[in-house]
Amino acid sequence: MSENEINDLNFEEAIAQLEAIVRELESGRIKLDDAVLAYEKAVALKKLCENKLKDAQMKIEKIEIAPNGDLTSAPLDHVEE
């Protein structure tokens, strides 16, 4: 799978492929050369997943109502529990 094909995956597809690679590597039934290729693909999938999560997190905001009734937004990281 090329880097462009990996970049075209959505988060769910990428994480499913990453999980499958991890299971295959953990099984120990994969040849060394194939394991190295699978590891390289897993690294690319992990990076893609991290970037997609980071992008999603940047888009999520907390909607707040100001004392005067106006709606404002703030980064979700600042949500008080």
Domain boundaries, the chain: 3-78
| Residues contacting residue 78 through CB under 8 Å, at least 6 positions apart | 62
Query: What's the rounded Cα separation, in Å, for the pair 26 and 20?
Result: 10
Query: Does residue 75 carry a pLDDT above 60?
Result: yes
Identity at 4, one-letter amino acid code: N
Q: In the structure, what pLDDT confidence band is assigned to residue 81 with cuts at 50, 70 and 90?
A: very low
Neighbours of 32 (CB within 10 A): 7
Alpha carbons within 13 A on the beta-carbon side of 22: 9
Torsion, CA 28, CA 22, CA 16, CA 2, rounded to 10: -90
Average pLDDT over residues 48-68: 84
